[in-house]
Structure 1
Amino acid sequence: MISLYLPGQSWLHRCPVRLKLLCLAIASLLIFPISDPRLLGIVLIVVVGLYGSLGPQGLRQLKALKPLVSLVVIIFLLHIVAGSWLEGVTAVLRLVVMVLLANLVSITTRMDDMMEAVMPLFAPLRLLGMSPRKPALAVTLVLRFAPVLLSVYSSLREAYQARSGRRTSWRLMAPFLLQSLAMSENVAEALSARGGADGLRQDKA
């Protein structure tokens, strides 16, 4: 669901890692309350424009949406059955925008650069003879995928609400966990291919 790093020298690649993470967090907080599909459509156009600023290779990264097609269709159909296709469009647009924003940070930020940005938080572990790399990697993965997971859960909850009239239910945990496990499996395979935390750039002296 999240693409690998895309080498390049664009303005987004040069943008400080901490600034990109801060902007992603702020965007997540601002987008979730939006219920107007027209406004979400404008946001989507802006996000696609950001991909376009990376050139043809950037636009090809929109393929990150491919694994979401089945989920998006199910969410939209459930809203149609409930007689609220407009809410379905809103839920789908919100999910697509959040996935694309998280993916944009991923393809323009090296994993080791993101780790370097958060590693100072775990520097005290050195005093205990422990390396800060693994907890920094864990936090990095959370920062990358939290917006996507929140968006997936939000879309599942809205689909359930449209179908049942209730806001939430424990039944949502099964499809949410399946989506989360599928994502974690892909991430684990990618990290394993790179040697895990030790396969990333070594600590600077």
Structure 2
Amino acid sequence: MISLYMPGRSWCHRLPAWLKLTGLAVVSMAVFPIKDIPVLSAVLVLVLGLYASLGTRGLGELRALRPMALMLAMIFALHAITGDIWEGIVSVERLAALVLLANLVTITTRMDDMLQAVMRLFAPLGWFGFSPRKPALAVTLVLRFAPVLLGVYSSLREAYQARTGKRGSWRLMGPFMLQSLAMADNVAEALTARGSADGLADNNPGALPARTIT
């Protein structure tokens, strides 16, 4: 499995996982209702600046937006066709900023740290006799592998474009689903071999090193 974590000692790496996840949630809720293009442009520039603060490798991670290029273009085109170009710009800027911000959290947060932070949200389940590990692990995997799936689709699209000269097609959905299911099987087998969520040590609820998911 591709590891999305980018090892480093930047300021963003040093921030606690719970703080980054909380910040992501707060910014997402604050940005979503905004429809002012200058404000959204400023937010997008700020996010790009955060990547630049990580150095050359950080700027290289901006490629996470490439798999969404076609979808962003379609969103803009749809608004343009309906005669609302400005709304199309708003939608594209907002989505790009939030995706890049989520990816920033992903590449600077170890999976075990993210899992430990998410488990705190499900801690009340323990009061009713349920383990918080399984839902926390499920949420963590969604956060971790959503960008991976975007990368898989990007690879398929690039291969299709190289063969046909076309940028995309609905025919890509078949191989995309097959690869996604195969990836899910590999992750499930790896987790099962390590005891799944129940195999996490009680004295260290976040103990699921990123390197264990291969």
Per the normalisation by structure 2, the TM-score is: 0.66
Alignment partners' CA distance in 2, 1:8 and 1:54: 9
| Structure 1 residue 190 displacement after superposition | 9.6
Contact 1:102 1:145 in 2 (8 A): no
Alignment partners' CA distance in 1, 2:107 and 2:181: 16
Alignment partners' CA distance in 1, 2:80 and 2:185: 37
What SS does structure 2 have at the residue aligned with 1:195?
Answer: helix
Determine if the alignment matches structure 1 residue 9 to structure 2 residue 23: no
Assess, with a 3 A threshold, how the Cα gap between structure 1 residues 25 and 127 changes in structure 2: closer, same or farther. closer
| Structure 1 residue 195 displacement after superposition | 1.9
**Percent identity of equivalent pairs:** 48
Contact 2:17 2:113 in 1 (8 A): yes
Q: Which residue of 2 aligns with 1:196?
A: 191
Assess, with a 3 A threshold, how the Cα gap between structure 1 residues 102 and 32 changes in structure 2: closer, same or farther. same
Assess, with a 3 A threshold, how the Cα gap between structure 1 residues 94 and 124 changes in structure 2: closer, same or farther. closer
Alignment partners' CA distance in 1, 2:80 and 2:3: 31
Q: Which residue of 2 aligns with 1:61?
A: 61
Q: Which residue of 2 aligns with 1:101?
A: 101
Contact 1:3 1:61 in 2 (8 A): no
Alignment partners' CA distance in 2, 1:105 and 1:186: 25
Q: Which residue of 2 aligns with 1:90?
A: 90
In structure 1, stretches of 5+ residues that fail to align are 147-174
CA RMSD between the two structures? 3.5
Contact 2:5 2:106 in 1 (8 A): yes
Contact 1:79 1:85 in 2 (8 A): yes
Assess, with a 3 A threshold, how the Cα gap between structure 1 residues 190 and 75 changes in structure 2: closer, same or farther. farther
Assess, with a 3 A threshold, how the Cα gap between structure 1 residues 3 and 135 changes in structure 2: closer, same or farther. same
| Structure 1 residue 116 displacement after superposition | 1.3
What SS does structure 1 have at the residue aligned with 2:29?
Answer: helix
Amino acid at match of 1:37: I
Alignment partners' CA distance in 1, 2:137 and 2:186: 10
Assess, with a 3 A threshold, how the Cα gap between structure 1 residues 3 and 80 changes in structure 2: closer, same or farther. farther
Assess, with a 3 A threshold, how the Cα gap between structure 1 residues 82 and 55 changes in structure 2: closer, same or farther. same
Alignment partners' CA distance in 2, 1:30 and 1:3: 30
Contact 1:102 1:144 in 2 (8 A): no
| Structure 1 residue 136 displacement after superposition | 1.6
Assess, with a 3 A threshold, how the Cα gap between structure 1 residues 22 and 187 changes in structure 2: closer, same or farther. farther
What SS does structure 1 have at the residue aligned with 2:8?
Answer: coil
Count of matched residue positions in the alignment of Structure 1 and Structure 2: 170
Q: Which residue of 2 aligns with 1:19?
A: 19
Assess, with a 3 A threshold, how the Cα gap between structure 1 residues 192 and 103 changes in structure 2: closer, same or farther. same
Alignment partners' CA distance in 1, 2:141 and 2:87: 31
Contact 2:4 2:144 in 1 (8 A): no
Contact 2:106 2:143 in 1 (8 A): no
